[in-house]
Structure formats: structure tokens, C-alpha cells
């Protein structure tokens, strides 16, 4: 069965079906996403997925544009999440993935998590400015 990013978006993020990760990722998959270390194998990706789903009561990944060629896909996407208290945030990003035999073997996700967490009020509104000026976040003037 061919891989479909739209199916991934629906099953993994809208339906929050972690079993879909096992079905759609190769056992040796390597996903470069949030954090300094890649997520290796479906189990590590499922741990990341579980953390996101525990934080947010609703999640959605919309595929805005997608191009597929020679076993690779590149997509512009919008991720939206809502917390239990109603706070909502969204972030646009890109996904590049190599697909072999209908499963993800490597992926590179680039999303603005800093902006996302700022929208949710979990980081100060001036976080980016602090970092760009060399100040520590929350350190003041």
C-alpha cells in the first residue's frame, strides 16, 4: 500500500492513532524533528507523539502542498493544537520524507515550536528577541 501524507495526518494527528505509526514507519526509521537528537524507530516517535497528545487535547496536521518524486515527498503543512483550556496555536512547517515500500525510513520535520509555545503562553512573548540579542529568556532587560 503506498504511503499517503494525508493518511498520516488524519490517522496520527487528527485521530491520534499511535498504531498508525507502527504501520507507516519502517522499523529503522529516523525522524529529525523537535529536539537535538533524531527519533529512531517507531517507538521513539510514539513517545514524542504521546507527549504532544498529553499536552494538547486536539491536534490536526493539514497538508497545504505536497510534491512526490523518486521515493521522496516534500510538503508544506500547518499543525494546529488546542489545549484543554481552549488555548489554540498553529505553526507552519515543512516535512521531507523518504518512503520505501510504503513506509517512512527517514524524515526531516521543520516546524516553529518556539512560536507555537509562545502562542500557547508557555514561553514569553519576547523569547525570539531575547535569544537573538544574546539575553537569556526570562532574564529581563
Lookup result for grid cell 528577541: 129
Compare 86 and 2 and report the one with higher pLDDT: 86
Does any domain span residue 121? Answer: no
Percent of the chain with pLDDT over 90: 92
- Exposed/middle/buried for residue 125 (C-beta within 10 Å: 0-12, 13-18, 19+): exposed
Classify the C-alpha dihedral 83-85-90-91 as positive or negative: negative
Burial class of residue 77 in the structure, from the number of CB atoms within 10 Å of its CB (0-12 exposed, 13-18 middle, 19+ buried)? buried
Residue bearing the bigger pLDDT, 34 or 128: 128
- Please give the mean pLDDT across all residues of the chain: 95
Enclosing domain of residue 95: 5-113
Residue 64 and residue 120: Cα distance in Å, rounded? Answer: 23
pTM (two decimals): 0.91
Q: What is the pLDDT of residue 140?
A: 64
Tell me what the mean pLDDT of segment 88-109 comes to: 97
With respect to residue 125, please indicate whether it lies within any of the assigned structural domains: no
Domain tally, the chain: 1
Query: Is position 132 within any domain?
Result: no
Which runs of E-coded beta strand occur in the chain?
Answer: 25-32, 39-40, 58-69, 72-82, 88-100, 103-111
Residue 1 has pLDDT above 80, yes or no: no
Q: What residues are paired with 26 via a beta bridge?
A: none
Q: State the CATH number of the domain containing residue 12.
A: 3.10.450.50
Amino acid at each position: 500500500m503506498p504511503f499517503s501524507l494525508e493518511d498520516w495526518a488524519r490517522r496520527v494527528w487528527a485521530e491520534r492513532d499511535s498504531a498508525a505509526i507502527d504501520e507507516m514507519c519502517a522499523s529503522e526509521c529516523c525522524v529529525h524533528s523537535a529536539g537535538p537528537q533524531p527519533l529512531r524507530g517507531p517507538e521513539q516517535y510514539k513517545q514524542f507523539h504521546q507527549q504532544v497528545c498529553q499536552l494538547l487535547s486536539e491536534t490536526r496536521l493539514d497538508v497545504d502542498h505536497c510534491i512526490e518524486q523518486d521515493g521522496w515527498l516534500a510538503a508544506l503543512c500547518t499543525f494546529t493544537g488546542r489545549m484543554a483550556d481552549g488555548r489554540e496555536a498553529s505553526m507552519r512547517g515543512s516535512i521531507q520524507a523518504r518512503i520505501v515500500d510504503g513506509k517512512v525510513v527517514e524524515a526531516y520535520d521543520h516546524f516553529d515550536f518556539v512560536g507555537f509555545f509562545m502562542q500557547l503562553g508557555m514561553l514569553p512573548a519576547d523569547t525570539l528577541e531575547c535569544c537573538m540579542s544574546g539575553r537569556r529568556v526570562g532574564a529581563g532587560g
